[in-house]
Structure 1
Amino acid sequence: MKIVSFETFIVPPRWGFIKLVTDTGIVGWGEPVLEGRTHTVHAAVEELMDYVIGKDPRDIEDLWNVLYRASFYRGGPIMMSALSGIDQALWDIKGKDLGVPVYQLLGGKCRDEIRTYSWIGGDRPDDVASMAAQRMALGFTAIKMNGTEEMNYIDDHSKVDAVLERVQAVRDATHPDMGIGIDFHGRVHKAMAKVLMRELAPLRPMFVEEPVLPEHLDAIHEIAQYGAIPIATGERLLSRWDFKPLLQRGGIDIIQPDLSHAGGITEVRKIAAMAEAYDVALAPHCPLGPVALSSCIQIDAVALNAVIQEQSIGIHYNQGCDVLDYLKNKEVFTFKDGYCPLPAGPGLGVDIDEAYLREMAKVGHRWRNPVWRQRDGSFAEW
C-alpha cells in the first residue's frame, strides 16, 4: 500500500482537515490545524508531504520520525500541528486496512467509555449558572468555564470576587459533585494566580487550567502551594520533550496535550505513558472538530490515567458550523450520563461528510483570537 495523493481543506468555524488517499482506495482523515494560523499549518503540510507521498502509510513510527527529525529545525506549533494531522490520517488508514478501531492497534481498550465535559460561558464568562444547569439536564457531570476576563500582574480584588461569584453560581445551580473546571487561559500572572488558588479552594473545583502561561511553568510548583486544587496544563506544549521538565518539576496533576498540536496519536500515546509514571492524570485538550475528538478518544481508550475528555459540541466558537455537522455518522459522539462510548468503527470511526466539507471549504475561515487591552492600554493576555 502506498500514499498516492492528499488534499487539505480549511473550513469554518476555525478548523483544517487533510485527506490522505492510498493506491488501494483507503482514505485517511486528519485535522492539521492551529487556531488562528491554519493557513500556515497547511503550508507546512504541503512541505511535509514530500516525505509521505509514495510511502507505505502503515509504517507510522518511521514516518513520524522522518517528519519530525529529517529537518535541522524541529518542533514548534506550526510543524507539530502539521505533523499531528498527518499522523491522525495515517492511523485512520491503518485501522481501516485492518478493520479495527485505532485503539485496538495501541494495545486494546482499558475502558468502555470516557467521561466528558461541556463548555459553558464564553471568552468573557457570562450566564454560567443557567448554562451549567442546562448541561446538567443533558446528563453532563462536568463543565468547564473561563475564569476571568483581563487580569493584570497585580489587580483589583473585585476581579477575584467576580470569579468566586461565578463559580459559586455554578455550584448553586448544579450539585456538590458537579465537576467544575476553571480555565485561567494564561490570562493570570503568578501573583494573582496564588490569590485565586487560595480563594477558590473552598469551592472545590475539579481543576484549575493554565494558571500561568507556558513561559512560566517553572512557577507551577510554587502556585500549587496556595490551594488544594488539581492543576491542569499542557495544551500549548508540543512533544514529550516539552512535557518532560514539567513532569520532573512536579506540581502538575493533569496534563492536557492536544492531539492536533502535540504530534498526533503517536506522540500523545508516549506523553500519556510518561505522565502515568509520575502519577499524573491525562485529559486531552480538544476544542476542535470530529477527527481531533476521535483521535483523543482513541488515546483515552488505552491510557489508564485518562480521566476526562474535552469536547467542543456547542462551544461558543462553533456557531454556524459544529462538530457533528461534518459527520455522516453523527451518532458516534453520543453522551449519556456524562460519558461518551468509544468509537466502534474501523480507524478513527468517523465518517466525514465530504460533500458538506467541500461546500464549507468554499467558505473557509480566517479566524483570529481577540486582542485584549488592559485599562491603561497595555496588552492583556487573552
Structure 2
Amino acid sequence: MWPKTSERSAFSGRSTATLRPSALALMGRWHLAEPVPIPGKHRHNRRKRAKGNAMTKGSKVKSVELLACDAGWRNYHFVKLTTDDGVVGWSEFDEGFGSPGIGAAIQRLSVRVVGQNVFQHERIYAELFAATRPAAGGVVAQALGAIENALLDAKAKHLGVPCYELLGGKIRDRIRVYWSHCATWRINHPSWYKPPIESLDGVKAIGREVREKKFTALKTNIFTYDNGRPTGWRPGFGAPFAPEINVERKVLRDLHMHLEAIRDGAGADVDILLDLNFNAKTEGYLKILRAIADLDIFWIEIDSFNPEALGFIRRQSPHPISSCETLLGLREFLPYFREQAMDVAIIDTPWNGVWQSMKIAAAAEHHEVNVAPHNFYGHLCSMMNAHFSAAVPNLRIMETDVDRLAWDHELFTHVPDIQDGHLIIPDRPGWGTEPNEEGLRAHPPKHGGGLLNYGRKVP
C-alpha cells in the first residue's frame, strides 16, 4: 500500500508530495520490506533485557583470596575471586620470575575490587590503574593483570562460555606448541625433572624424544660444558655472577656444540628455537648470532630494555628475532613496534592480563608483527594462554613446558590436552581448568624460590 502524502518519508524528512515518482517507487519497496510486528515480541525482549541486567547487577565480587603451592624450584600462585552468587574466578600469577611482592599488591588492591560488578572488568582495571598510576608498571601492573584474569574467568563462568568467547571467539581449535626449556629443566633442575641430563648424549636423547612424541618445535637455552658435563649459563640472572655479561669464546663454542647435539637428536624436520634471555649486551648478542649463523634456527629470543639496540641487532641477524616477554602494557611495547625491533612479539598474558594482551596483539598486527605467549608456569597459565592463542589473529606459535613436576597433575582439575604437538582448545566454561585446593594443601609452598635463589647455595 502506498503511504499517504501527509506521512513523513525516510528521504531527508520530506513529505512524499515533494518526491519524484522513482523515489516514491523506491519508498514503496522500503515500506513493503518492513517487518510485520509480532504480538508480544517487544515485551519478550524487554523481559530478556531485564533478566540480563538483574544477572549482571547480582554478580558482585565478594572476596579475593590468594593461594600457593610447592612447584619444585619455585611456587605456583593463584587468585581466587568469589562472587556473591557463588561463582569462583581463578587466575595464576608468578612471583618466581623476578617479581617478589605481587601477592601483597593484589591484597592491597583487592579492597577496591570487592563489591564491584564482575562483568565490568575493563572499568575495574581502569580504576585500579588510576589508583596506582604514579607507580605504574612492575609488580603493580602484574597484580592488575592477575585480578583481570580472575575477573574474566568469573565472567565467562557466569555466562556459561569459554573465555575465548569474551575475546571475540576462537579462530582455531588447536594451537601449535613448542617444547620449551628442552634439556634446560633436566640440566638445571635434575631433582625435579627426570631423567637428568649429564652429557651431550642426554641432549641428543631429549631431541630424539621431542621428535618421537610428535612435537614439531623445541626451545633450549645457553649451556657451557666442562669435562663433557653441561651447566646453565645465566649471567643475566646472576648465575654465574658476572654483571659485565661478556660472551667469551668458550660460551660461543659450547653453545654451537649444544645446538648441534640437539639437532642431531631431533632431526631435520623439528624447528629449534634458542632463548638468550638477558644473557648478553648488544656486542655479545651479535657475537652469538655470528657464531651460529650456519645453523637452522626458527627464532632467537633476546631480551633487551633498549628498543634501538634490539632493532640494531635484528637488522644484522640471519635469524628471526623474538622479544618483549618482560614488557608490561601497550606503552612499553610501542617503542619496539615503531623501531621494528623484532619479528615476533612475546606477550606475557599472566603479567599483562589477557584482555590487555589482546590490545597489545592488535597493535602488533598494525605493525605487521605476529605474537606468541610467554608460558612457563602452571597449567592454569597454559590454559589462559591457550584461550588467548585461540582468539588472537596474528599468532606465531605457543610456548609450553612438557617436562612437568611429578605432582603437577594433582594441582589442577584438568591438564592441557596436547596431541601431535598441538594443544586442543577446551570448550569448558572459563579458562577450562581450576586449581585443586586439596592438591594445593598437600603441597604447601616453600619459603622463597625462583630467580631469587639463582647463583646462591640454598640449604
The TM-score, its normalising length taken from structure 1, stands at: 0.89
Moved more, 349-358 or 21-30: 349-358
CA distance in 1, matches of 2:219, 2:284: 20
CA distance in 2, matches of 1:150, 1:9: 30
Gaps of 5+ in 1: 374-382
Cα offset, 1:37, TM superposition = 5.8
Q: Please tell me whether the aligned partners of residues 290 and 327 of structure 1 are also in contact (alpha carbons under 8 angstroms).
A: yes
Structure scoring higher RCO (CA < 8 A, sep ≥ 6) equals 1
Q: Please tell me whether the aligned partners of residues 209 and 266 of structure 2 are also in contact (alpha carbons under 8 angstroms).
A: no
Q: Please tell me whether the aligned partners of residues 16 and 38 of structure 1 are also in contact (alpha carbons under 8 angstroms).
A: no
Cα deviations by residue, 1:187-244 (Å, 9 ceiling, x for unpaired)? 122112112112323212111112xx43233211211233221111111101111101
One of 157, 166, 170 as aligned partner of 2:249: 157
Corresponding residue for residue 121 of structure 1 = 183
Corresponding residue for residue 329 of structure 1 = 414
Corresponding residue for residue 379 of structure 1 = none
Q: Please tell me whether the aligned partners of residues 258 and 286 of structure 1 are also in contact (alpha carbons under 8 angstroms).
A: yes
Corresponding residue for residue 348 of structure 2 = 258
Q: Please tell me whether the aligned partners of residues 283 and 310 of structure 1 are also in contact (alpha carbons under 8 angstroms).
A: yes
CA distance in 1, matches of 2:454, 2:401: 22
Q: How does 1:1-382 map to 2 (within 5 A)?
A: 1-13=59-71, 14-35=75-96, 40-118=101-179, 119-122=181-184, 127-148=202-223, 149-150=233-234, 153-210=245-302, 213-262=303-352, 264-314=353-403, 319-322=405-408, 324-330=409-415, 333-360=416-443, 362-369=444-451, 370-372=453-455
Q: Please tell me whether the aligned partners of residues 60 and 115 of structure 2 are also in contact (alpha carbons under 8 angstroms).
A: yes
Secondary structure of 2:170's match? coil
CA distance in 2, matches of 1:100, 1:300: 17
Cα offset, 1:280, TM superposition = 1.1
Secondary structure of 1:224's match? helix
One-letter amino acid of the counterpart of residue 208, structure 2: A
Cα offset, 1:163, TM superposition = 0.9
Q: Please tell me whether the aligned partners of residues 76 and 92 of structure 2 are also in contact (alpha carbons under 8 angstroms).
A: yes
Cα offset, 1:325, TM superposition = 3.0
Corresponding residue for residue 230 of structure 2 = none
Corresponding residue for residue 4 of structure 2 = none
Structure 1 residues 311 and 325, CA gap change in structure 2 (3 angstroms):
farther
Which is higher, the Rg of structure 1 or of structure 2?
Answer: 2
CA distance in 2, matches of 1:276, 1:147: 31
Cα deviations by residue, 1:70-112 (Å, 9 ceiling, x for unpaired)? 2242422211221111111111011111111111121111111
Cα offset, 1:259, TM superposition = 1.4
Corresponding residue for residue 193 of structure 2 = none
One-letter amino acid of the counterpart of residue 121, structure 1: A
Cα deviations by residue, 1:106-139 (Å, 9 ceiling, x for unpaired)? 1111111111111212276764321121122112
Secondary structure of 2:66's match? strand
Secondary structure of 2:184's match? coil
Cα offset, 1:66, TM superposition = 1.0
CA distance in 1, matches of 2:414, 2:246: 49
Cα offset, 1:27, TM superposition = 0.4
Cα offset, 1:328, TM superposition = 2.1
Cα offset, 1:147, TM superposition = 2.4
CA distance in 1, matches of 2:262, 2:129: 43
CA distance in 1, matches of 2:407, 2:316: 41
Percent identity, aligned pairs only?
28
Matched positions, count: 363
Q: Please tell me whether the aligned partners of residues 307 and 339 of structure 2 are also in contact (alpha carbons under 8 angstroms).
A: no
Alignment RMSD: 2.0
Structure 1 residues 10 and 365, CA gap change in structure 2 (3 angstroms):
farther
Cα offset, 1:150, TM superposition = 4.8
The TM-score, its normalising length taken from structure 2, stands at: 0.75
CA distance in 1, matches of 2:88, 2:449: 28
CA distance in 2, matches of 1:366, 1:80: 21
One-letter amino acid of the counterpart of residue 347, structure 1: G
Secondary structure of 1:283's match? strand
One-letter amino acid of the counterpart of residue 214, structure 1: S
CA distance in 1, matches of 2:407, 2:434: 17
One-letter amino acid of the counterpart of residue 272, structure 2: I
Cα deviations by residue, 1:150-175 (Å, 9 ceiling, x for unpaired)? 56654432321111111111112122
